[in-house]
Structure 1
Amino acid sequence: MVKKLYQPFNPSLDFLGLDHIVVGSGMGGLTVATWLAKAGKKVAIFERHYVPGGFTHSFKRKDGFQWDVGVHYVGNMAEDSSLRGFFDFLTNGKLEWESMGEVYDVANIDGAEYKFKAGKENFRKQLINYFPKEEKAIDAYLKLIQKANKRGSAFFFEKVFEPWFSKSVGWIFRKRYSKFSEKTTWNVLNEITKNERLIAVLCAQCGNYGLSPKNSSFAAHAMVIGHFLEGGYYPIGGADQICKKTLEVFTANSGKVFINADVTKIVTENNQVQGIQLGEKFIPCKSVISNVGVNNTFNHLLSEADRKFCDFSLKNVQPASAHICLYLGLNQSSEALKLPKHNLWYYKHDGIDEIFEEATLENAPENFAYISFPSAKDPNWQTKNPETSTIQAISVGNMDWFENYIDTNWMKRGDEYLKLKKNFETEMLKVLFKFFPQIEGTIIASEVSTPLSTENFTNYKSGEIYGLAHSPERFTLPFLRPKTKIKGLFLTGQDITLVGVAGAMLSGLLCATAILKLGSWKIFKAIKTSKNS
């Protein structure tokens, strides 16, 4: 009999004796919850959605098609990498990965194609092949990436320091990193080259952190680029296997997961956590770990007095960008249609900042698209779904474009809203048919999600998927740390570290370390021993 990994919230259940409550089941929450459960703590996760996993979950339809909502590929997944070791620890080695091959991304800018090859030296040689007169700039760029990420590792580790140690020593790490984090990507690149096409190519993957070159922090850019330098990987069986395999380990260690559990308040008294509130139900615990973003945590789950005590303010930082996505199901296999494993980044011209800033609902797909092929990446897809394939095509979105429908309900937004989505689908299909004409006539299922869809399931008010914008200002916020000023309240998730499944996992690791303190090193030792055996 298969053990059920989660259950609907019911206020009549017994919730007494909990050490830790995790609000939100995204990668950061899954990581810290499993870490703590493995350390012998009594942990429960409360998730407002009807399925757990946050952006690691997938959604399915009756016709058998399944699409990922957030994880399209992951870097640094070689068997000897630290990140792979952490995933193996969380899933007891049951999560398998498939390499995307020699080429993991392709950028098409104004009709010219640029391949991103796995391996730093392969990446370097390929760029020099495209830009032979820019070898010096390319080498300088790679050195900056390496240097920024080395300092970034220290910057993020400093987040677990106690306040007294952070004030006496931590400022050194923050100052050294600020040389990269407080400059925009465009400013840094413009110092090493004036070649606009080279800058556009180097920034072609900026959709992975959601900001254009003139708005993004170079530190965020460097981390994401460095993350994928050795290639891309995809979870065998689909992105939801990340959540499923982790929850199997979490529940095997007595962890509990409750869905349809919309936490309405984090209850505090005298600046100390008492528990959480779900409607009229109060659930006590020793600590609460919030994985729903700092904006939702401070502005919606805590009181005004709590915000003032924590000295919380986001006035200088905006939420990350939103997106619109077209999901397609096709009646032929990826192999028959010759669909690639690699992702395609399409830009109409070099001006990435201009494309993002001047985007409208009508012109977004025409100027920018990120196209991914989940079924081609997953070796198990064909076995479970013979003679079919899937595609996801994404463009920039904006909640303001849908302001007339903000007060409507999911699946009941009216014909005019459906018409807007259909128009987006039509324009995005033009881009897809341009690059992959062989798929015409094979589409048997299609759906479009908007920022309203994201807001409905995540409660991110601007429909953002990357939390706080990865701008220079983000890296100056002092409260983006696992441990808050409120005793027993901790933070995890991509806001604490960086975008993506790896960034969220890192936040969970840091949060568990802040809670367990010296006890966490026993687990690090267990991971190292497991990798060497």
Structure 2
Amino acid sequence: MVNKYYQPYKPNLDFSGLDHIVVGSGIGGLTVATWLAKSGKKVAIFERHYVPGGFTHSFKRKDGFQWDVGVHYVGNMAADSSLRGFFDFLTDGKLEWEPMGEVYDVANIEGEEYIFKAGKENFRKQLITYFPKEEKALDAYLKLIAKTNKRASIFFFEKIFEPWFSKSVGWIFRKRYSKFSQKTTWEVLSELTKNQRLIAVLCAQCGNYGLSPKNSSFGAHAMVIGHFLEGGYYPIGGADQICEKTLAVFTAHGGKIFINADVTEIVTKNNRVQGINLGEKFIPCKSVISNIGVNNTFNYLLSEEDRKVCNFSLKNVQPASAHICLYLGLNKSSDALNLPKHNLWYYKHDDIDEIFDEATLENAPENFAYISFPSAKDPDWEIKNPGTATIQAISVGNMDWFEEFKDSNWMKRGEEYLKLKKHFEAEMLKILYKFFPQVEGTIVASEVSTPLSTENFTNYKNGEIYGLAHSAERFTLPFLRPKTKIKGLFLTGQDITLVGVAGAMLSGLLCATAILKFNSWKIFKEVKRSKNSGFGI
């Protein structure tokens, strides 16, 4: 099927005169590409997948069901928020958002339910009803979230400083933020309270950044928690509308996007970017912007000499965790089944670190599950797909569990692999039916994705979806900046900033600013005309 916004890559197409090439079409790449295109630059995006969007894309099946692969909800999307202003700029205001309502998340820990309400004061009051003796700890926690995020905004903004300015001034911002980013979430919360259940509740959403309390940076925790304090939102029409609406604006300003375009090399000469190679096809440009993660960029697209120039090393930082997901299609509507808009975070007990650290393919769903109801969040679903609903149920995954199948091809991994997926499905359904028994008997479609599925489409070798682990070490890496030491090579995506749609979008904004420099403020003025814009996510 021909798409009006993108086309398959073919070597004989005209690629002449490009100012910028973006490798990868996730939201970070889409953001910087659109900003540059709106500034009059000639930009092309090359995407190895057969659909664009990265983790904002959705996949569809012939029976009409559609599921998101990475976006389950987004925070800070109120009409007057800064983040909403930037998305409105990217999409010319065509992307609409549906609030999830008063309750956006529910945690169930060892059979006890804890509700997360939208609005900081609502959140605070609700948690005090569960932990009346911990009011001081909760107040201190919320103040610490605000203080940490205020310093984080400056920390991330410093990433666009020129090297001389970063050395002379930037170190102050990095040092001030390190007070929070260099402690684990567990360390910080343990200083506030000794109540282990409260700590578990405050960390119940840790799946949003992919690390357990004793392994994650409190800086990452604070940014993600703060991002959702005012509630959750869902893109009307599904997560793929983020990409679709952005591409409409990007292409309207002359941008081109090519799918099935597997970039094999970023070509440099004398420490300057020359262009890219796709197999034997060389495409010249003035600069290359990589949106495929620093691991893939440096380890697979650049030479050893280039890596030495950049002084690049990830020896002390592991990739983020992987996951396994069950996708379900139902033959009754969300209303008929009384499916909620909020997400469910289930933990068998309150030692989240133990659950993550000791997870196996056999026990993962039994101990942890994240359950989301996309069709209930999207007011357009029932209009387009009457009498049906969708569910996604996720648990922690590990590429090592599928080691024997790593050399097999997608959709052709054999019966033993299918048996493992069926076992996961059966175990996850037990958890789903425990909380939502009304779903039993309505499932007419099901699929399971594993870390191998993620690796197939993203080339992330460990099947991770969050790039680099959000550990304390991540925030010390000096090369996680838009501008590299190779002239004309820039980086964008969640590795440069933070996990999620908002974090990746922010990285694209920073990258565009680093490229356009003073000219970028013309765009900021355009955004500010409709919104009170800022750098907070």
TM-score tier after normalising by the smaller chain length:
over 0.9
| Residue 19 (structure 1) aligned with residue 16 (structure 2) | no
Any residues of structure 2 matched to 1:476-495 within 5 Å, and which? 476-495=476-495
Offset at residue 342 of structure 1 (A): 0.1
Cα deviation digits, residues 402-446 of structure 1 (max 9, x gap): 000000000000000000000000000000000000000000000
Any residues of structure 2 matched to 1:108-507 within 5 Å, and which? 108-507=108-507
Offset at residue 3 of structure 1 (A): 7.0
For residues 224 and 120 of structure 2, what CA distance do their matches in structure 1 show? 14
Cα deviation digits, residues 113-143 of structure 1 (max 9, x gap): 0000000000000111110000000001001
- Tell me the SS of whatever aligns to 2:152: helix
Give 2:475's aligned amino acid: F
For residues 3 and 26 of structure 2, what CA distance do their matches in structure 1 show? 21
- Tell me the SS of whatever aligns to 2:390: strand
Give 1:58's aligned amino acid: S
| Residue 60 (structure 1) aligned with residue 41 (structure 2) | no
For residues 287 and 101 of structure 2, what CA distance do their matches in structure 1 show? 43
Give 2:105's aligned amino acid: D
For residues 415 and 531 of structure 2, what CA distance do their matches in structure 1 show? 55
Match of 1:523 in 2: 523
Give 2:167's aligned amino acid: K
Cα deviation digits, residues 484-521 of structure 1 (max 9, x gap): 00000000000000000000000000000000000000
Match of 1:33 in 2: 33
Cα deviation digits, residues 235-273 of structure 1 (max 9, x gap): 000000000000000000000000000000000001000
Match of 1:84 in 2: 84
For residues 63 and 355 of structure 1, what CA distance do their matches in structure 2 show? 36
Offset at residue 531 of structure 1 (A): 3.4
For residues 258 and 500 of structure 1, what CA distance do their matches in structure 2 show? 24
- Tell me the SS of whatever aligns to 1:444: strand
Cα deviation digits, residues 384-417 of structure 1 (max 9, x gap): 0000000000000000000000000000000000
Backbone CA RMSD of aligned residues: 0.7
- Tell me the SS of whatever aligns to 2:64: coil
Give 1:59's aligned amino acid: F
Give 2:329's aligned amino acid: G
For residues 348 and 530 of structure 1, what CA distance do their matches in structure 2 show? 46
Offset at residue 530 of structure 1 (A): 3.0
The answer as to whether partners of 2:339 and 2:376 remain within 8 angstroms in 1 is: yes
For residues 241 and 7 of structure 1, what CA distance do their matches in structure 2 show? 18
For residues 251 and 154 of structure 1, what CA distance do their matches in structure 2 show? 32
Match of 1:105 in 2: 105
Cα deviation digits, residues 277-310 of structure 1 (max 9, x gap): 0000000000000000000000000000000010
Give 2:292's aligned amino acid: V
For residues 3 and 57 of structure 2, what CA distance do their matches in structure 1 show? 19
Q: Structure 1: which 4+ aligned runs deviate by more than 4 Å?
A: none
Give 2:444's aligned amino acid: I
- Tell me the SS of whatever aligns to 1:517: helix
Offset at residue 33 of structure 1 (A): 0.2
For residues 342 and 3 of structure 1, what CA distance do their matches in structure 2 show? 33
- Tell me the SS of whatever aligns to 2:329: strand
Q: Which runs of 5+ in 2 are unaligned?
A: 533-537
For residues 271 and 323 of structure 1, what CA distance do their matches in structure 2 show? 38
For residues 72 and 45 of structure 1, what CA distance do their matches in structure 2 show? 25
Cα deviation digits, residues 4-49 of structure 1 (max 9, x gap): 1000000000101000000000000000000000000000000000
Offset at residue 457 of structure 1 (A): 0.2
Give 1:330's aligned amino acid: L
- Tell me the SS of whatever aligns to 1:233: strand
For residues 333 and 123 of structure 2, what CA distance do their matches in structure 1 show? 30
Offset at residue 529 of structure 1 (A): 1.1
The answer as to whether partners of 2:467 and 2:494 remain within 8 angstroms in 1 is: yes
For residues 51 and 467 of structure 2, what CA distance do their matches in structure 1 show? 20
> TM-score scaled by structure 1?
0.99
Give 2:199's aligned amino acid: I
- Tell me the SS of whatever aligns to 2:530: helix
For residues 263 and 477 of structure 1, what CA distance do their matches in structure 2 show? 26
- Tell me the SS of whatever aligns to 1:226: helix
- Tell me the SS of whatever aligns to 1:407: coil
The answer as to whether partners of 2:326 and 2:392 remain within 8 angstroms in 1 is: yes
Percent identity between the two aligned chains: 87
For residues 14 and 390 of structure 1, what CA distance do their matches in structure 2 show? 42
- Tell me the SS of whatever aligns to 2:323: strand
Give 1:453's aligned amino acid: S
For residues 8 and 461 of structure 2, what CA distance do their matches in structure 1 show? 24
Give 2:206's aligned amino acid: C
- Tell me the SS of whatever aligns to 2:446: strand
**Cα 1:468/1:3, change in 2 over 3 Å:** closer
Q: Which runs of 5+ in 1 are unaligned?
A: none
For residues 268 and 10 of structure 1, what CA distance do their matches in structure 2 show? 23
Cα deviation digits, residues 71-122 of structure 1 (max 9, x gap): 0000000000000000000000000000000000000000000000000000
Give 2:45's aligned amino acid: I
For residues 403 and 304 of structure 2, what CA distance do their matches in structure 1 show? 27
Match of 2:535 in 1: none
Match of 2:8 in 1: 8
